[in-house]
Amino acid sequence: MKFLIINGPNLNLLGKREPGIYGENTYESLCARLKEFAAEHGSTAECFQSNHEGAIVDAIQAADGAYDAIVMNPGAYTHYSVAILDALKAVSVPCVEVHISNIHQREEFRHKSVTAPACVGQICGLGLYGYEAAMGYFLAREKRG
């Protein structure tokens, strides 16, 4: 499988930004971990991060026909980006939404995901493992046919 891993605003600051919530690992180490996980399963993973909504929309649109699955942490855009929701609905590439923290244990505004309805599922609160869990879901789904 070919995975596109999309990360939204501020995820480039992993390891620096609120390590008590997001952990000590850097964004670079996350990408290396996910590429290694994919390779161990005969797959590839490309990481994309942007702090700009339009760039994320462009990446989703460009994924159509180029990737088998998207694993996306939209960051703050989770809670208000209809543009990202619409882009996910417009492509034939399935997506699992991932959040490092448990968004349901945080501030009230973080409980609602605008983008999740366009995804096959949502994983939150499992730390960086959530990305691997999402990839594992797609790998198992492909195996079952």
Burial of 13 from C-beta contacts in 10 A (0-12 / 13-18 / 19+): middle
Radius of gyration of the chain (CA): 14
Which of 22, 27, 67, 131 is catalytic? The answer is: 22
Nearest to 93 by CA among 114, 71, 68: 68
Told to judge if 79 belongs to the known catalytic residues of this protein, a careful annotator would answer no
Which of 27, 77, 99, 131 is catalytic? The answer is: 99
Residue in this structure with the two tokens 């995901």, named with its chain if needed: 113
Told to judge if 137 belongs to the known catalytic residues of this protein, a careful annotator would answer no
Tokens representing 80? Answer: 């208000």
Nearest to 120 by CA among 80, 140, 93, 84: 93
CA–CA distance, 98 with 123 (Å, rounded to integer):
5
Query: Which residues are part of the catalytic machinery?
Result: 22, 99
